[in-house]
Amino acid sequence: MMMALPYARRGFHYNNYKYYLEDRFGERVQRLSIEGNFTCPNRDGNLGTGGCIYCNHHSFSPPYADKHKAISDQVAEGIQFLNMRFGVNKFIAYFQNHTNTYAPVKQLERLYRDALDYPQIVGLAVSTRPDCIDDDVLSLLHDISMNYDVNLELGIESIYNTSLLWMNRCHTVETTYIALDRIANYQLDVTGHIILGLPTETREEMMAMAEAINDLPLKFIKLHHLQVIKQTNLATLYKKQPFPLFSYEEYVEFIAHFIAKLRTDMILQRVISSSPEAYLIAPQWTQTTTAFVMDLQKYMRDNNLYQGDEYSKK
């Protein structure tokens, strides 16, 4: 199976985004998070209020990403910070927080172009919702993709409407499918975000999402385990009525078999959530993200599991 996984290296049994970027650009590339001062339609009252039940954007914002700073200043500080920390010289400008297509297209173009106006920036990643995609935005991203690597990240989160309602997403899975069909017309690389461990879903339903994902026009996938973060509506709910979450060992085993069900051309950008300890309520795992990835590799190696193994046997 390894021969069919071009980005599975150094002990990995699945396609790893890091190695995809190294092949694409000839060296290590790091994402540089940018705060574009966006909001969301389920936060500002357009579709709802309160935002997604689990969301506290401060829990994944680096120190240089500050909405009060100009985009150019964030990029300059981010380049310096990441170069010192990782020794990298190429970066992808990553608009991560909130819904980063939720503004007039002229404003979006100005923000995106400002972020790209550095020779070290080789790509653009834009995180958004399925209901905030239109042809003007997609045309803009397509134009940018003529000169830069462009990755549109779509918050799918779940394929079950019951779960999307519980999350306060204020859109349906049908909206997701319509958005993906529209995006396909513009030949953009798409990442799908999926959250695993929702109390609205059984383990069997979660695992079934792998097969559903295989039928979607996705190049990349980000997998997250549900975390309860401080200062969220989920934290309030969890305090009143706690529900089961993945244990560390359960998630290692579950995600290994989830990956085994994915088609072999899909590239994994993330396999675990990683909120800072200061924000995290549950689950309280003592292991680091690096340790998790190593344990996942070991589990897959010990059980002779590769991405696509359980998909190809279908």
- Tens-place pLDDT, residues 289-305: 999 999 999 999 999 99
Which residues does residue 151 pair with via DSSP β-bridges, in sequence order? 125, 189
Non-local (6+) Cβ contacts of 249 within 8 A are none
pLDDT at 66: 86
Window from 98-102, 129-133, 269-273, 308-312 with minimum mean pLDDT: 308-312
Instruction: Note if the pTM is more than 0.85.
Output: yes
CB contact at 8 A, 210 and 156 = no
Tell me the pLDDT tens digit for each residue of 29-87: 999 999 999 999 999 999 999 999 999 877 667 888 888 899 999 999 999 999 999 99
**185, burial (CB in 10 Å: exposed 0-12, middle 13-18, buried 19+):** exposed
pLDDT at 57: 74
Domains along the chain with CATH numbers? 2-312 (3.80.30.30)
CB contact at 8 A, 54 and 234 = yes
Distance from the first to the final alpha carbon of the chain: 15
Q: CA-CA distance, 31 to 186, in Å (whole number)? A: 23
Which residues does residue 220 pair with via DSSP β-bridges, in sequence order? 191, 267
**67, burial (CB in 10 Å: exposed 0-12, middle 13-18, buried 19+):** middle
Is residue 195 over pLDDT 60?
yes
CB contact at 8 A, 293 and 248 = no
